[in-house]
Amino acid sequence: MARKYPITVSSWTLGDQCKFEDRVIAAKKAGYDGIGLRAETYVDALAEGLHDEDILAILDKHGMKCTEVEYIVQWAEDNRSYEQKYKEQMCFHMCELFGVKQINCGLMENYSVEHTAQKLRELCQRAGKWIIGVEPMPYSGIPDIKKGWAVVKAAGCENAKLILDTWHWVRANQPCDLELLADIPADKIVSIQINDVWERPYAKSILRDESMHDRLAPGTGIGATIPFVKMIKAKGIEPAALGVEVISDAILAKGIEQAAKETFDGCYAVLKEAWPEALEE
């Protein structure tokens, strides 16, 4: 029997230099329920010579699923590149292939709430039945939960929702306080990603470098993960995926099996203390 909220090793946690089956094996061995895939890591699997049926067969062979799809970007631009249009379509295809209902999306470009909401509305229309999960990131055009919710609310689309990530939450200088989520319906948060942070952040001008290279496993930094998870639980959020996104050069340098183990073990310890029901099968 599977967990209600599949514990998912997000794509970046295991990097982009491993073969698809090695990714699946490492995740399974560590204890994860599913893997996350970016459009790029899915295309990497195709470049190995695998076809969709091969990818599904490998997942089935190891009793695993793909439970997280990402990452649509630059969706607020008036003139998007063909690469981004293709990537968007690839994410839609991946949702269909793997039975994933949500797509993680970010936006680096900074526009008004009104413009961003209109472009989100257009993206949601193209997505159809798929949920567009907007992820606030402190160095992005949607830096915090305040603007994130303002955009999603103004878009007025049933399939426009939010994704909350511990690292981004803490680095946006937001306390793990339910008050910040007071105006947001619990079902408007589609999934979460957990990790931990160093006590002292990188300089603001290079904060994205910390995000992409120097995150910490859940429960191993300043201890932000437990209060974050407690906030999620208290809000009544039911995540479609409980992602563990630990983008860390130091951890990944130990190899993908150790990276999977270290991040899962940290996640398990946090959930055992803060949300034990999430571990039940």
pLDDT by residue (tens digit) across 149-178? 999 999 999 999 999 999 999 999 999 999
Q: What is the DSSP letter of 204?
A: G
Residue carrying structure tokens 């974050």: 228
Q: What is the pLDDT of residue 225?
A: 97
DSSP notation for 135-169: ---TTSSS-SHHHHHHHHHHHT-TTEEEEEEHHHH
Tens-place pLDDT, residues 179-212: 999 999 999 999 999 999 999 999 999 999 999 9
Q: What is the pLDDT of residue 281?
A: 85
Picking from 188, 193, 176, the residue whose alpha carbon sits closest to that of residue 242 is 193
pLDDT (mean) for 113-126: 98
From the DSSP assignment, how many helices (H) and strands (E) are in the chain? 11, 8
- pLDDT of 2 over the 90 cut: no
From CA 26, how far away is CA 32, in angstroms rounded?
Answer: 9
Local confidence band at 110 (pLDDT 50, 70, 90 cut-offs): very high
CA distance 60 to 56: 6
Q: CA nearest 27: which of 246, 213, 210, 237?
A: 246
Domains of the chain and CATH, by start? 7-279 (3.20.20.150)
What pTM, to 2 d.p., does this model score? 0.96
Average pLDDT, the chain: 97
Q: Inform me whether the pLDDT recorded for 1 exceeds 80.
A: no
End-to-end alpha carbon distance in the chain: 6
Using one digit for the tens of pLDDT, what is the confidence trace for 211-265?
A: 999 999 999 999 999 999 999 999 999 999 999 999 999 999 999 999 999 999 9
CA distances from 84 to 58, 95, 103 (A): 28, 17, 14
Rounded percentage of the chain residues whose pLDDT exceeds 90: 99
What would the pLDDT profile of 60-82 be if each residue is shown by its tens digit?
A: 999 999 999 999 999 999 999 99
